[in-house]
């Protein structure tokens, strides 16, 4: 089960696991994109794709979707909590409170809702695994990142605590923390300003969605006794969320 499968990492992760022959539960708000993904994956691979169209911020929508799912599958083996976003990039005093609400409600509360309501299905699996998509922004804070960084630091804390809480059930919890990756992330962050979004990756050879799909798949492919706790992956131009080399020479802030 992959949240945020309509774009970027989520779509690539769904594709990677489907290529391995795994059935997929793909979720997101854009129903047309979910249908396209289902058509593509079912035509390319011998798998079944269930699509669930809901907003992770809406607890009622999450519970209704999971109820629908419970009638269709016996268990969920792997949940990838990927749905998330950044909205805006500004100092705390200039921050837009609506943007803050969107990020906290999606990245933190949405992840909690999905995890809580899907867990009964994960507990029924013999190989339960939760993969949370964190970020380098949840490891090292960067200028103007304030609330986005805070939500990803929170995801990091949740991954650590979930791993403790779910030990008795044999459920693995992995935190995958990507650095700069060119998806729709910056277009969303800058509210459709594609030029501004492109400038984030200028002079870099950034990660792409397939890189993160490969990492998530690797984490999920370990033997039963091996749990990768935490993995941070950046492009070669980046050391952490602060130190980045552009045009092979210059070191600048994000
Ligand atoms: P994209 O914008 O390409 O994809 C984001 C996905 O999240 C979309 O499928 C979107 O689906 C879904 N989503 C957003 N809000 C909601 C919501 N309220 N309810 C349900 N689904 C939602 O970005 P990425 O693939 O890059 O981002 C995926 C994750 O990776 C995010 O958590 C992001 O914070 C994290 N990340 C991204 C990095 C990057 O540089 N790109 C680096 C580190 C982490 P829809 O709009 O259809 O609902
Ligand atoms: C996304 C990476 O550096 O754009 O989490 O915040 S960054």
pLDDT tens for each residue of the chain, 254 residues long: 999 999 999 999 999 999 999 999 999 999 999 999 999 999 999 999 999 999 999 999 999 999 999 999 999 999 999 999 999 999 999 999 999 999 999 999 999 999 999 999 999 999 999 999 999 999 999 999 999 999 999 999 999 999 999 999 999 999 999 999 999 999 999 999 999 999 999 999 999 999 999 999 999 999 999 999 999 999 999 999 999 999 765 545 55
CATH number for the domain harbouring residue 138: 3.40.50.720
97 located within any domain: yes
- Asked if the structure places residue 96 within a domain, the reply is yes
135 lines ligand 2 (CB under 6 A): yes
C-alpha 45/C-alpha 22 separation (Å) is 9
Calculate how far, in angstroms, residue 18's C-alpha sits from the geometric centre of ligand 2.
27
Atom number in ligand 1 closest to CA 183: 3
Within-domain flag for 26 = no
CA distance 47 to 27: 16
Range of the domain at 131: 67-249
Report yes or no on 242 lying in a domain.
yes
pTM: 0.97
Which residue, among 41, 38, 30, 42, has the nearest Cα to 6 in the 3D structure? 30
Per the domain annotation, does 147 fall within a domain? yes
Domain count, the chain: 1
One DSSP character per residue, 135-146 reads: -GGGTS--TT-H
Spatial separation of the C-alpha atoms in residues 126 and 233, rounded to whole Å = 28
Task: Please check whether residue 222 lies inside any domain of the structure.
Answer: yes
Ligand 1 neighbours, Cβ below 6 Å, are: 3-10, 28-30, 33, 55-57, 82-85, 106, 110, 133, 135, 178, 180-181, 183-185, 188
Residues with Cβ within 8 Å of 16's Cβ and at least 6 positions away in sequence, in order, are 210, 213, 214, 216, 217
Active site residue 148: yes
In a domain, 48, yes or no: no
* 125 lies in some domain: yes
Distances (CA, A) of 82 to 130, 156, 175: 10, 13, 11
Strands 24-28, 172-178: parallel, antiparallel or unpaired by DSSP? unpaired
């Amino acid at each position: 089960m992959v949240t945020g499968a309509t774009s970027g990492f989520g779509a690539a992760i769904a594709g990677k696991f489907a290529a391995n022959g795994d059935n997929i539960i793909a979720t997101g708000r854009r129903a047309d994109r979910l249908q396209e993904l289902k058509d593509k994956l079912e035509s390319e691979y011998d798998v079944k794709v269930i699509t669930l169209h809901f907003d992770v911020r809406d607890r009622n929508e999450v519970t209704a979707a999971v109820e629908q799912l419970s009638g269709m599958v016996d268990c969920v083996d792997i949940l990838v909590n990927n749905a998330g976003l950044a909205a805006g990039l500004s100092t705390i005093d200039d921050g837009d409170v609506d943007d803050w609400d969107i990020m906290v409600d999606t990245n933190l509360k949405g992840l909690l809702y999905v995890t809580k309501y899907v867990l009964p299905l994960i507990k029924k699996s013999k190989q339960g695994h939760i993969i949370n998509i964190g970020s380098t922004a949840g490891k090292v804070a960067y200028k103007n990142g304030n609330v986005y960084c805070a939500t990803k630091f929170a995801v990091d804390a949740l991954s650590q605590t979930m791993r403790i809480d779910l030990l008795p059930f044999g459920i693995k919890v992995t935190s995958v923390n990507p650095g700069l990756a060119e998806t729709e992330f910056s277009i969303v962050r800058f509210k459709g300003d594609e030029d501004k979004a492109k400038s984030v990756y200028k002079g870099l050879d950034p990660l792409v969605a397939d890189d993160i799909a490969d990492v998530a798949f690797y984490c999920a492919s370990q033997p039963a006794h091996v749990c990768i706790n935490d993995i941070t992956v950046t492009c070669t131009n980046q050391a952490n969320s602060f130190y980045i080399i552009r045009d092979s020479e210059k070191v600048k802030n994000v």
